[in-house]
Chains A and B, each alone.
Chain A
């Protein structure tokens, strides 16, 4: 493997890992947000009914 091979390997792995982690975070973010909204809206509904 020539020098550029090693360079691309390093840059490639770093890019891939960071992008993957970023995507993972975005997914967790979306899931948490959805769950939070769900809980909050059902709370609003409940308090509405009671109020």
Chain B
């Protein structure tokens, strides 16, 4: 079976499970929204400042929400010892990587789809026309987060205090994505376009491509029984 087909099978299995129980999705969604509320109380969000801070606040919310999702990523396999079964099968580990990355991506995608407009409503922002561009940049950033996140989740799987260790290891590595995504979004909100932020966009896409590739190649060594 080809890489893509295996990926598709694994991914659809995870998505089907999630569709039935919706544990991760709901938790992530509520957590993301909750963070927005907390931000409102924590920061002095006057109308003139909110447009400036919007990208950063959104991304902080997504980072923490995404981390929540990552913590759950291999939970199903661990609970039922499916991981061993998966490893025994002649499955391309790269497919497992893509499937897990894809799964977390889908979850975050759905959450972002709701949270960004929600943010716009809650904080009375008016630039609705910029949402598609902003969403695109967010998606690119999410890909970067999910690739590194999946690798990190896999390597911390057997560690003690893994819930604490995962963000500790992941966040410094994520800095290019954080910087690039937020700068791109700021540029969009300030100038309405991405021309000013093109270097950042290229960095972001480069990051995604590099770590997607590395992930596929390296995942063999990441998951071991």
A and B touch in the complex (CB under 8 A): no
- B interface residues, Cβ below 8 angstroms from A: none
